[in-house]
Structure 1
């Protein structure tokens, strides 16, 4: 029987196979209890083009409390979209890493869309 983390990683593998077929940059998300992280990975998966997280010093000063809430996820989504545009990426495939599209994951995705990232 699989534990919770193994189940999430199994779901993530399935979506990553479909994302690889799209040949787009991949916006991947990781969440912990205290922080949320977003990475923009190149089409071939060889390098990280941009990253943003609530653990970054600039963002930590703006946050009230910890980075494990919806408001913090929205800030990370906006920041990753700005960094993606600076890197010349307009359209991405959203990799939610097996997490449910709900709460912090949804807030990050919606904020990135509002900031002009297409997925």
Structure 2
């Protein structure tokens, strides 16, 4: 690998982990991961190192007959589901961890839907 590629990888890793270091464990972290086929969102308590709630487009309750597993509507569905699960556990203040992705398109749709359904970040 060239020096430029190595420095880019290090910058990308720093960008991904910066939020985890700055979140002093006082809020839940909503982590979003997207693969080529599926979307995963989970609320993580960094102080206790546990996952509070998780939703994915690979789960059984995902409406596969009405939604594609990877589209704008599925990101909105996941945002609504994770917000509902966290509100049921009386957790509304979170930090949104986009994991190095840019905040536009599908990730922004997930974040906006989660905000509309009661999460604060």
Normalised by the length of structure 1, the TM-score is 0.86
Cα displacement string for residues 39-94 of structure 1 (whole angstroms, at most 9, x for unaligned residues): 011141510000011111111435433x2211100000000000001122011011
Matched, 1:25 2:25: no
State whether residues 32 and 68 of structure 1, in contact with CA within 8 Å, keep that contact through their aligned partners in structure 2: no
Structure 1 ranges of 4+ moved more than 4 A: 3-8
With CA pairs under 8 Å and 6+ residues apart, which has the higher RCO, 1 or 2?
1
Cα distance in 1 for partners of 2:114, 2:26 equals: 20
Structure with higher Rg: it is: 2
State whether residues 25 and 42 of structure 1, in contact with CA within 8 Å, keep that contact through their aligned partners in structure 2: yes
Q: CA deviation at 1:7?
A: 5.6
- Say how many residue pairs are matched: 117
CA RMSD of aligned residues (A): 2.1
Residue 49 of structure 2 is aligned with which of 46, 49, 72?
46
Matched residue, 1:107: 109
Normalised by the length of structure 2, the TM-score is 0.84
State whether residues 8 and 98 of structure 1, in contact with CA within 8 Å, keep that contact through their aligned partners in structure 2: yes
Structure 2: runs of 5 or more not aligned: none
